[in-house]
Each structure stands twice: as structure tokens, then as C-alpha cells.
Amino acid sequence: MRYVGVAAASGGATAANSARREPMHETLSQWSLTELRGRLRGGEVSATDAVRACLERIAADNAALRAFIYVDEDGALRAAQEADGRRARVAGFGAAALRGIPLAIKDMIDVQAMPTTAASRVLAASAPAEEDAECVRRLREAGAIMLGKTNLHEFAFGGSGVVSAFGAVPNPLDRTRVSGGSSSGSAVAVATGMCFGALGTDTAGSVRLPAACCGVVGFKPTWSQVPVAGVIPLAWSYDHVGTLARTVEDAGELYAVLAGEAPGWRPCRILRCGVPRQYFCEGLQPEVAAGFERALNAVRTLGWTLREVELEVTEDRRVSNAETWAFHRNWHGADARALAQRRARRGCGVDADLAGAAAHVARDGRAGGAHRGAEDAAQHKAFQCAGLAVGHGALRGVGRTGDGRRAGQRRMGAGLAGALGRPRTGAGDANEGRSLSSRCIHANV
């Protein structure tokens, strides 16, 4: 394992492979997960080829993009050789859905023998995890290869990807702009061919926002469908583990493994879909609004039934803020008392918030009424809404004081589980010409 921080990975096999820059590896690193899996099973390429292709991309681009915090080069190559050896001993790669597929894991999620830092100096010297988080264990059991840990907005508490002890993560389509957050490194790693899929976490948009900014598919599953054991919490009543991938099909395959569902992509041709324009479609930039309408028209051609719905959205953050404080308060030490005194003078003492939030959850259920609008939700298998109200902002000028505040979160965020967004950004868009709908819709059942 090697700590890479803001520097390029160097030495060992990575440097040697980077020097060669084999053309096949350049092409291979841009395949979808499902294409790679088919070619692995057909014997056209090896798992070692796939891992080396990813390591080459990391060596070439990570110094500038800072997508990875840690790269376990030796471990990944060893796992790839084991996968290739298994193929030599038995016919094909067996039934394991992800055997030989190199993946990346957001550094909020435990991976055995790797530290979990949450991109914070607070945990930078933490001991390696003793075991995998349950979601990682499921991926590994399916044969996936863990390349390393990806960068993020510190402790997942922000939507830009700028605030990190290991440096801001710029957008690979335009490095003067933000990559979105908090799962910024995972999105960038997928977009640039450093891995074939990645895990992120999503509490209020942290998988979907960077996916929208970087031109990949981000999927936030239904709450509790993917275990969060072994994941550092932001607000446990809202936290999800989600996937970032190059295609909707890839996202579906990863989700099937994570949720313990039967493997195999099952596209849905007829779906009842709610369209909550109120709140989610307010203040859209014209090009984003136009892309959203194209998406609606595209799914109509698939036979979907669309119906305008209203969902109650609350900006009451008492529960999530209280849960975040409950996890972080001991690290503040003497500062915690001063913070509590300041909040008490403003009439919002921390302990009172915690007590009030606990009563709120007891009265209204999980997440302080997060499932309001259940009548509409029960009648629809999916909801479609814009992932970003505005295009991704400039990297410079987004900082600790202005990032992640309520107005910014409302402008940047999508609020429904299962609704994925990707605005067309014009020049420099790696997916120019593709319909928004092909990358933004997924049923939340």
C-alpha cells in the first residue's frame, strides 16, 4: 500500500508501466465495467491487464486530479494474479459477478489493511482498518479488486470536493471547476479511467452531485438496501452507500452485488414515474432545464407514464446536524465548550438540539419525517428531477466559509433517493451528444 496524497504514484510496476504507455491499456481503461467483464470471461484480456491499465492512469493523472489518497498497488496486482490463476485452473472466471474488476472505495469506508482518513488531518494517522466494511466485503466476495481509497470533501460535509487535507479535487472535464462532492475522488477516478467503478456515500447528494459534474452515473439506492456498517457516518438517519460508474448498466450490476440481489441487468420498459418540479426544478439554468425536458421526452418514448407530483421538502436540519455533532463532538476538545456556549447564546444549544432531535425522531420516525410525501412515493416506482440547478462552479473561490451552506446546497443538490443527474455542460463535455436521460434515470423501488 502506498500513500499518494497530492503526488503521483511512483516506483514499482506503476512507473514501469507508465513509461511503456501500452496502447491497449489506454483503450482498456475506458471500457465499461460490463464490457471488461465480458472480455475477461472470454479470455481476451486478463485481470492483471485491467489493474495495470488503472495504475497507469493513476500514475499519469493523480498528481493533478488528486482522486486517490491511497493506492494499494501490490495488493491489487496480487489479487489480479490470483484471479488470473483461478481462470487458468477452472473454465472461465466462474460465477463471481465482479471477478477481476478493479474498483475504488471512498475514504469514508473501511477497507481491510488501509487507513480510513475521511480526508481529514484528524484521522490522517489512524491505524489501518482491521476488516472490510460490509459493502466492501460483498464486493470482494464477488471477486472485485480494491485499488485503493479515493479523496473526498472532508468528512463528507460539503458538495464541492474542495475541502480536503489531501488537496482539492478538480473537475477532469475542466480543471478550473469543481468536481462536486462529497464523493469527488470516486467520480473523478471513474471518469478518467483510474478504475471501472467506485463506491461513494450519499447523505444529501454526495454521490449524485459529483456524478452530475463529472459526466458519470451516480446511484443512491433506497435507504438501508446497502449496509453502512464500517462507514464513517455523517448523519446516520440519512446516510447511504452508493455507486459511481460509467453506464447505468454498470451501476445496476454493482448495486445487485451490494444489495444481495440476483445478478443480471433487467431494464425496465414500463414504469410509473413522478416528476416533482416544485423545489427541484426551481432556479435551473436554461441549459439544465432544457436537458431535463429532453430527459422527460426520452423516457416517454420508452413507454414510461409521467405524472406531475408534489413532495413536501423540509430544510429542517436539526436531526442531521445533531447526528453529525454527536459523532464529531469529542474531537473538538476544549473547543466544544466554546461552541456550545456560542450556540446557547443564539438559543440553539448543542445538547438541546440533540435532545430535541431525539424526540423528533421518536415522534416522526427515521430522519425527522424524511418520508413525508409517502402517498405519492407509494404510487410511483421512480422520480425524475434535475441533479444540478446550475453548472459546476469555478474551483477558485469555493472555500471553507461559503461551501455547503443552505443556499448553496439548495442550488447544487438533488434531494430524492434514486434520482440521478447530469447536466449537459457544452464545450468540453466528454459525453456531448448523449441524451441526458441515458445517464440520469434509475428506479427507486
Active site residues: 106, 182, 206
How many angstroms separate the CA atoms of 334 and 21, rounded? Answer: 52
∠ CA 364-325-372, rounded to 5°: 20
Environment class of 405 (CB within 10 Å of its CB; exposed 0-12, middle 13-18, buried 19+)? exposed
Which residue type sits at 72?
A: D
Residue 348: all three cell numbers together: 440553539
Residue 93 near residue 143, CB atoms below 8 Å: yes
Residue 188 near residue 210, CB atoms below 8 Å: yes
Q: Taking the CA of residue 433 as centre, how many other CA atoms within 13 Å lie in the half-sphere pointing to its CB?
A: 1
How many angstroms separate the CA atoms of 141 and 143, rounded? Answer: 5
How many angstroms separate the CA atoms of 413 and 38, rounded? Answer: 35
In sequence order, the 6+-apart residues with CB closer than 8 A to the CB of 84 are 46, 47, 48, 100
- Of the candidates 99, 13, 109, the one whose C-alpha atom is nearest the C-alpha of residue 69 is 109
**Separation in Å, CA 155 to CA 85, 201, 235, 279, 328:** 39, 11, 11, 27, 10
